[in-house]
Amino acid sequence: MSVIAATPDAISEAAALLRSGALVAFPTETVYGLGADATNGAAVASIFEAKGRPHFNPLIVHVADISVAHRLAYIPDGAQRIAEAFWPGPVTLVLKRRPDSGLSDLVSAGLDTVALRMPDHPIARSLLVAAGRPLAAPSANRSGHVSPTQAQHVADDLGDKVAMVLDGGATAHGIESTIIDASSERHVMLRSGSVPGLVIEQALGLKLVRSLQAESLKPRASGQLASHYAPRARVRLNVTHGFTEGEAVLAFGPFEAARHRAVSGPFINLSERADLIEAAANLFAALRKLDALGVPSIAVTPIPEQGLGEAINDRLTRAAAPR
């Protein structure tokens, strides 16, 4: 495996690798994806093998533009409006597959729906165009680990299980796309993500059914598995005092360093100026960094549940879940 700067030559080489059935990791505006040709069942299967996933769950298929999405799936009016407003960008739509889509069945884990998104990243889009295929790409981490926001994270996690890692620097959002099931009139938010649900509701004047309300709907997004995004360290949420000796602190907003100095563990502030966008972009790299120090636990200070705070707290709650 090699981590390679994403020059035009490297992108052509990556596209050829993908067409031959190999795995290539690439940057998107959210996190790095582990890409495979979505029309090649064996290539898609090797994604699960590389991630060490215990079971098959459906993957997001990335498309170069909306016309490709129309060839792969039926797009009802509501879904079309969401795509027009948010593509390219970090909103994924779950839609009914067309019978002649050419997609592997495994990419949908045998369901009659498929999750599609058009990424807003120049390297991802060049790669999609050069490959000339839709690309299945979950986050490029070992199953259960936090998602990679830098090329080196991918190399650390997947090593030689991937033919090439295209390096595009740190990702902008740092948190995965928002997933909306838009296959029917009822729009269900299956996973909170880079675009807050409220932003989608306000832009389109529609109401999203939240996944908690939709608890009984199957299948659930992988982000909904209880313990996911899990560092090795124990994670404690909403901690404002009572830090323990050697415990790492993951802070948000102005934080009295003096309070923490008393315990002298490692300290990272996701955003000193309490900016949720900055915090989301830093989240996974911060968890990886603290975990690599081998701390027994990570105390997280409160993060407001507004806007992107919804997705950040969702990921942190999973990281804190018993396992």
Q: Which of 78, 88, 89, 138 binds ligand TXA (CB under 6 A)?
A: 138
Residue 192 in the binding site for ligand TXA (CB under 6 A): no
Secondary structure letter of residue 98 according to DSSP: P
Q: Which residue is nearest to Mg ion (CB)?
A: 139
Query: Binding segment for ligand TXA among 4-12, 90-98, 241-249, 298-306 (CB under 6 A)?
Result: 90-98
DSSP 231-243: -SSEEE-S--S-P
Buried b (16+ CB within 10 A) or exposed e, 137-167: bbbbbbbbbbbbbbbbbbbebbeebbbbbbb
- CB atoms near residue 199 (< 10 Å): 16
Interface with ligand TXA (CB under 6 A), residue from 120, 167, 176, 247 = 176
39, 40, 104, 108: residue in contact with ligand TXA (rule CB under 6 A)? 108
| Cβ atoms 35, 26 nearer than 8 A | yes
Q: Which of 28, 39, 271, 313 binds ligand TXA (CB under 6 A)?
A: 28
Amino acid type, 127: L
Q: In this structure, is the dihedral angle defined by the CA atoms of residues 71, 72, 77 and 79, taken in order, positive or negative?
A: negative
Residues 129-148 as x/- pattern, contact with Mg ion by CB under 5 A: ----------x---------
**Interface size with ligand TXA, residues (CB under 6 A):** 26
Give the whole-angstrom CA distance, residue 40 versus residue 107. 9
37: β partners:
135
Identify the residue among 115, 135, 172, 316 touching ligand TXA (CB under 6 A): 115
Question: Residue 134, interface with ligand TXA (CB under 6 A)?
Answer: no
Q: Which residues bind ligand TXA (CB under 6 A)?
A: 28, 30-31, 33, 57-60, 90, 92, 94, 108, 111, 113-115, 137-139, 176-177, 179, 190, 219, 221-222
